[in-house]
Amino acid sequence: MKRAGLILIVCMLSVVGYGQSSAKSYFNTGAKEFVHSKLEKAIATVDMGLQKYPSDQKLMELRQKLEEEKKKKEQQQKEQQQKDQEKKDQEQQEKEKKEQEEQEQKEQEQKEQEQKEQEQKEQQDQKEERQKQQLGKMTPEQIKQLLETMNNEEQKTQKKVNAQQVKGPKKSQEKDW
């Protein structure tokens, strides 16, 4: 809104005082440069005009408005820089947080893997222990089968021994002692 009013003032003054080498021409040139977003150049032009015409009220007012605009612009830049820095800081914090979460997740996965390996080792150890116990420990059916096998083997052996013995009366052996 201020800019539009300033543009209108500049246009009207530039038509009236164009070509004059006076305070008005410095005012118009400064205002035109401001309108074209050349704030520093506008301030420099108005300052030159104030050096030649230090008591010109319009130049002083324009200089004041240009200073205000410069301060607003600097303030906006500072605010933008702060926002940018805050955003950058926030992104950095999020990045660090994400890295920390990833590290914690890796550590958790590693712990879980180690725990699984430990459980598997324990299960393997238990299985081996059971197998060792089962070797020394037989079920009643296994014992029965083993006894039957031993009896069968003994019967076979007895038959062989009996077959080898001479048939007939038993001789008594006398002891010569």
The answer to whether position 73 is within a domain reads yes
Number of domains in the chain: 1
118 pLDDT more than 70: yes
| Interval 4-25 mean pLDDT | 59
In a domain, 30, yes or no: yes
Q: What is the mean pLDDT of residues 139-151?
A: 86
Instruction: Report pTM.
Output: 0.44
CA distances in angstroms from 5 to 2, 29, 70, 104, 108, listed in the order given: 5, 16, 17, 61, 66
Assigned domain for 171 exists = no
Domain that holds residue 71: 2-83
Residue 4: pLDDT over 90: no
**pLDDT tier at 18, thresholds 50, 70, 90:** very low
Could you tell me what percent of the chain has a pLDDT over 70?
80
User: Is 62 within the bounds of a domain?
Assistant: yes
